[in-house]
C-alpha cells in the first residue's frame, strides 16, 4: 500500500511538472542582446564608451533621429523648444512639463543644472571634451567655482546656457550621451553608488535598470513614469556577456540573442554564414566614422612630405575594403566620414593606388632602398584591424619599405600613442556628434591633440584655423573653411591616410519587428528604437 501511494505521488508530481513546462508563461516582450564584455559603469560622466545603458535609461535635451533613408536630423526631446541668440552665445530652452524620473519625481531645470555642474565638478569626470565651451566650465574644472556660470535656471521649465564663444556644433553636442540629464535628488542621495547600483541610478528615459550582475548580465525594465509611449517596444531587455566570439555566434543561431552585432563576430563567419544563410535577416547601416592610418612626422623619414605622399599612394584601400570587410563600405579621401555634415565627394581622387608612382616619389626623396617602419597594433582590438595592418605591411613591402607589425596590449598601445612616439597605427573615429569639428578638432585642432595621437602635425597656422572654424557663425562659410582645411591637410600635406567609412551590420532574429540603429552606427543604441512582434 505504501509503495503504491508513493508511486501515485511520484506520478502526480511528474504530471504537474510536465503540465507546468508545457504552458509557456507570458513573460511579455523580452529583448535579448549580447555584449562582448561587461560595461564598467552606468554613470556616463565616468566612461567614454559604455553608452548602451545611459542611452536607454536617461533622456537628453535633444536627440538625433535616424530616418529610413539613413540620414539623420536633430529633434527636440525633453527640451520642447529653444531659441539661439543672434551672437550665437546664448541658448534658451523650454522643458516639457511631463517628464518624470523612474522614482516618480518630475524633471526640472534644476536637474539640468545639477547634471551640467557635476559634469565638470566631479573629480574623475571624463566627459569634458565637448562641453568645456560652456561659460564657467573651466572654473569648475579648476575648482575655482562651485556653480556653472553659463547655466541660468529661470523657472522649473526654463533655463539658458551661455557659451564662451560661438560653437555651431553645440546643439548636436547636447544630443550625445555626454549630456544625459540626471536627477539632482538622486545624485545627492546616491553619491558614489550612482552608476554602480541599479536602484540608485535613476533616469527619466524609457527604461530603468533592474539588475546588474558583473561580467554576467544586465536587465532593463520599463520606466513606468516615462513620457514616451511604450508601443511595441520590449518590456524587458537582457544584455548577456559573451567574451568568446564563437560562443556568441552559436548563441545567436540557438535563438538566445535577438540582435547580433557583427562587429563582435569574426568577419569570415559574417561573410560565409550570415551573408548567405541569413541574408534577409541582415540590417546594414552607415557608420559615421572614418578609418585612418597615421604617419608620425617626427619619425624619420616621414617628416618628408614626399615620403608621406608615397605611403598614401602605396596602400591598396579598395583591396583592404574588399578582403577584410567584404566590400561593405565606401572609400573616403578626406577627413569627414561619408554621410556626415561636411562630407563632400569633391575630394575623391586625392588618394590613388599607385605603387609605381610611390616608388618614384621615394626615390626622389632619397629612399630608393626603402626604410624601416613599425606599424603598431592594439592586440585587444578586432581581428579586422590587425588585418588592415597586415595588408598595409604587404603594400609597403611592395614599394620597398620594410614595415613590420608590433603588437601592444590596449593600455600599452594607448600609452605609447599618447606619448607622441608611435610611428604609425590604424583606428576608426566614429562621430560623437554630427559636425566636422568633432573629428578635425580631435586630430588637428591643437599641437597637443596632434601629438596625443602621434601625428605631430607641424603646421600651427592650420591648427589655429581649425580651432577658429568652430566659431564661424555663417554656416556656408564654415563648411567652405572645413573643406579647405581638409584639402590642405590630406592632399597638400599628406598628414594622414584616410581609408574608408564602413557599414555596421546586424543580424536580427524572427522576433524583431523593427530596429533603428544608432544614428552614427555605434554598437550601443537606445533600445526604445526596437519593436518586437
Partner 1 sequence: MKRVLKRLLSMIPVLLGVMLLIFIMLRIIPGDPVSILLGEHYSQDTIDRLTKAMNLDKPLMQQFFSYVLGVLHGDLGVSYIMKRPVTDIILQAFPHTVKLAVMAALFAWVIGLLTGIVAAVTQNRPPDRIFMTLSLAGVSVPIFMVALALQYFLAFKVKLFPLTSDGSLKSMILPAIALGWNSAGSIARMTRSSLIEVMQSDYIDTARAKGLRRGAVIFGHALKNAMLPVITMMALQLSSMMSGAVITESVFSIPGIGRLATDAVQNRDMPLLQGTILFTTVIVILGNLLADFLYAVLDPRIRREA
User: Binding mask 111-130 vs partner 1 (x if CB under 8 A, - otherwise)?
Assistant: ------------xx-x-xx-
Phi, psi of 267 (to 5 degrees): -65, -25
CA distances to 35, 348, 397, 485, 506 from 309, rounded to whole Å, are 40, 16, 16, 17, 36
Binding status of residue 247 toward partner 1 by CB under 8 A: yes
**CA 138 to chain CA mean position, Å:** 25
Q: Are strands 424-430 and 372-378 parallel, antiparallel or unpaired?
A: parallel
Spatial distance between the Cα atoms of 218 and 212, rounded to a whole number of angstroms: 4
Given a contact cutoff of 8 angstroms between Cβ atoms, the answer to whether 22 and 167 are in contact is no
Distance from C-alpha of 233 to C-alpha of 397, rounded to nearest angstrom: 52
Cell of 5: 501511494
Task: In angstroms, give the least distance from the CB of 332 to partner 1.
Answer: 18
Q: Does 301 bind partner 1 (CB under 8 A)?
A: no
Smallest gap, in angstroms, from Cβ of residue 4 to partner 1? 32
Contacting partner 1 (CB under 8 A), which of 7, 15, 246, 383?
Answer: 246
For partner 1, the closer CB: 241 or 283: 241
Query: Could you tell me which stretch among 153-161, 368-376, 408-416, 522-530 binds partner 1 (CB under 8 A)?
Result: 408-416
Cell numbers for 457: 602635425
Q: At its nearest, how many Å lie between partner 1 and the CB of residue 248?
A: 9
DSSP 65-108: EE-TTS-EEEEESSEEEEEE-TTS-EEEEEE-S--B-TTSPBP-
- β-strand 289-294 against 72-76: which pairing, if any? unpaired
Q: Does 387 bind partner 1 (CB under 8 A)?
A: no
Per-residue contact string for residues 74-93; x = within reach of partner 1 by CB under 8 A = --------------------
Query: In the complex, what is the shortest distance from the CB of residue 263 to partner 1, in angstroms, rounded to a whole number?
Result: 15
Is 40 or 83 the residue whose CB approaches partner 1 more closely?
40
- Rounded to whole angstroms, how far apart are CA atoms 451 and 474? 30
Question: 248 to 267, contacts with partner 1 by CB under 8 A?
Answer: 250-251, 253-254, 256
Of 152 and 380, the one with the shorter C-beta distance to partner 1 is 380
Distance CA 38, CA 515 (A): 23
Cell numbers 591598396 correspond to what residue?
316
For residues 424 to 443, the per-residue mask of contacts with partner 1, x marking binding by CB under 8 A and - elsewhere, is ---x-x------------x-
> Rule CB under 8 A: is residue 416 a binding residue for partner 1?
yes
Which is closer to partner 1, CB of 99 or CB of 173? 173
Q: How far apart are the first and last CA of the chain?
A: 53
Closest approach, Cβ 503 to partner 1, in A, equals 20
Q: How many residues bind partner 1 (CB under 8 A)?
A: 51
Min separation Cβ 242 and partner 1, Å: 5
Compare residues 182 and 396 and give the one whose CB is closer to partner 1: 182
Minimum CB distance to partner 1, residue 488 (Å): 23
| Buried b / exposed e along 202-211 (16+ C-beta atoms within 10 A) | bbbbbbbbee
Q: Is residue 104 left, alpha or beta, with left meaning phi > 0 and alpha meaning psi from -120 to 50?
A: left
Q: Which of 11, 49, 81, 513 is in the footprint of partner 1 by CB under 8 A?
A: 49
Q: How far is the CB of 36 from partner 1 (least distance, A)?
A: 10
Residues from 133 through 152 that contact partner 1 (CB under 8 A)? 141
Q: Which of 60, 308, 453, 470 binds partner 1 (CB under 8 A)?
A: 453
**Under rule CB under 8 A, residue 219 binds partner 1:** no
Rounded CA-CA distance 428/22 in Å is: 49
Q: Please report how many Cα atoms fall inside a 13 Å half-sphere around the Cα of residue 240, on the Cβ side.
A: 15
Residue window 25-44: x/- pattern of binding to partner 1, with contact defined by CB under 8 A: ------------x--xx-x-
Instruction: Choose between 397 and 446: whose C-beta lies nearer to partner 1.
Output: 446
Q: For 163, which DSSP code?
A: B
Q: Of 159, 191, 133, 195, whose CA–CA distance to 61 is shortest?
A: 159
Which residue from 14, 15, 17, 414 is in contact with partner 1, where contact means CB under 8 A?
414
Strand partners, 237: 31, 220
Grid cell in block for residue 229: 509611449
| Piece in contact with partner 1 (CB under 8 A), picked from 6-14, 180-188, 410-418, 463-471 | 410-418
* Contacts with partner 1, residue ranges (CB under 8 A): 37, 40-41, 43, 46-49, 123-124, 126, 128-129, 141, 192, 195-196, 213-216, 240-244, 246-247, 250-251, 253-254, 256, 380, 408-416, 418, 427, 429, 442, 448-449, 452-453
Amino acid at each position: 500500500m505504501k509503495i503504491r501511494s508513493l508511486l501515485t505521488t511520484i506520478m502526480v508530481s511528474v504530471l504537474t511538472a510536465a503540465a507546468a513546462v508545457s504552458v509557456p508563461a507570458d513573460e511579455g516582450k523580452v529583448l535579448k542582446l549580447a555584449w562582448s564584455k561587461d560595461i564598467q559603469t552606468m554613470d556616463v560622466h565616468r566612461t567614454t564608451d559604455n553608452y548602451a545603458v545611459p542611452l536607454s535609461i536617461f533622456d537628453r535635451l535633444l536627440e538625433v533621429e535616424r530616418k529610413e533613408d539613413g540620414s539623420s536630423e536633430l529633434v527636440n526631446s525633453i527640451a520642447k523648444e529653444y531659441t539661439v541668440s543672434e551672437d550665437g552665445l546664448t541658448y534658451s530652452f523650454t522643458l516639457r512639463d511631463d517628464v518624470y524620473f523612474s522614482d516618480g519625481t518630475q524633471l526640472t531645470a534644476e536637474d539640468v543644472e545639477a547634471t551640467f555642474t557635476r559634469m565638470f565638478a566631479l573629480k574623475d569626470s571624463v566627459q569634458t571634451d565637448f562641453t568645456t565651451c560652456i561659460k564657467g566650465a573651466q572654473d569648475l574644472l579648476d575648482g575655482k567655482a562651485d556653480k556653472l556660470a553659463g547655466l541660468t535656471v529661470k523657472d522649473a521649465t526654463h533655463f539658458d546656457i551661455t557659451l564662451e564663444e560661438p560653437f555651431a556644433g553645440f546643439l548636436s553636442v547636447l544630443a550625445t550621451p555626454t549630456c544625459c540629464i540626471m536627477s539632482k535628488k538622486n545624485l545627492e542621495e546616491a553619491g558614489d553608488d550612482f552608476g554602480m547600483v541599479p536602484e540608485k541610478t535613476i533616469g527619466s528615459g524609457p527604461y530603468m535598470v533592474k539588475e546588474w550582475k558583473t561580467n554576467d548580465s544586465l536587465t532593463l525594465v520599463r520606466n513606468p513614469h516615462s513620457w514616451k509611449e511604450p508601443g511595441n517596444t520590449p518590456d524587458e531587455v537582457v544584455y548577456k556577456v559573451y567574451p568568446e566570439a564563437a560562443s556568441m555566434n552559436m548563441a545567436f543561431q540557438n535563438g538566445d540573442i535577438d540582435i547580433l552585432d557583427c562587429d563582435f563576430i569574426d568577419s569570415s563567419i559574417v561573410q560565409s554564414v550570415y551573408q548567405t544563410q541569413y541574408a534577409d535577416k541582415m540590417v546594414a547601416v552607415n557608420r559615421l566614422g572614418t578609418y585612418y592610418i597615421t604617419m608620425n612626422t617626427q619619425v624619420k623619414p616621414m617628416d618628408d612630405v614626399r615620403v608621406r605622399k608615397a605611403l598614401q599612394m602605396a596602400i591598396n584601400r579598395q583591396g583592404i575594403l574588399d578582403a577584410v570587410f567584404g566590400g561593405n563600405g565606401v572609400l573616403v579621401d578626406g577627413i569627414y566620414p561619408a554621410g556626415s555634415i561636411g562630407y563632400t565627394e569633391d575630394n575623391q581622387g586625392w588618394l590613388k593606388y599607385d605603387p609605381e608612382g610611390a616608388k618614384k616619389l621615394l626615390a626622389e626623396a632619397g629612399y630608393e632602398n626603402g626604410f624601416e617602419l613599425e606599424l603598431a597594433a592594439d592586440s585587444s582590438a578586432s581581428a579586422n584591424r590587425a588585418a588592415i595592418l597586415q595588408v598595409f605591411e604587404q603594400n609597403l613591402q611592395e614599394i620597398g619599405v620594410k614595415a613590420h607589425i608590433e603588437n601592444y596590449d590596449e593600455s600599452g598601445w594607448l600609452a605609447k600613442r599618447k606619448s607622441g612616439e608611435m610611428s604609425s597605427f590604424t583606428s576608426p573615429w566614429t562621430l560623437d556628434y554630427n559636425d566636422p569639428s568633432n573629428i578635425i578638432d580631435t586630430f588637428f585642432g591643437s599641437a597637443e591633440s596632434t601629438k596625443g595621437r602621434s601625428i605631430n602635425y607641424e603646421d600651427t597656422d592650420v591648427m589655429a584655423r581649425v580651432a577658429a572654424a568652430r566659431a564661424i557663425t555663417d554656416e556656408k562659410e564654415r563648411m567652405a573653411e572645413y573643406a579647405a582645411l581638409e584639402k590642405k591637410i590630406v592632399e597638400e600635406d599628406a598628414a594622414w591616410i584616410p581609408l574608408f567609412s564602413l557599414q555596421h551590420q546586424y543580424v536580427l532574429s524572427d522576433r524583431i519587428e523593427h530596429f533603428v540603429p544608432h544614428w552614427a552606427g555605434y554598437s550601443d543604441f537606445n533600445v526604445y528604437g526596437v519593436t518586437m512582434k
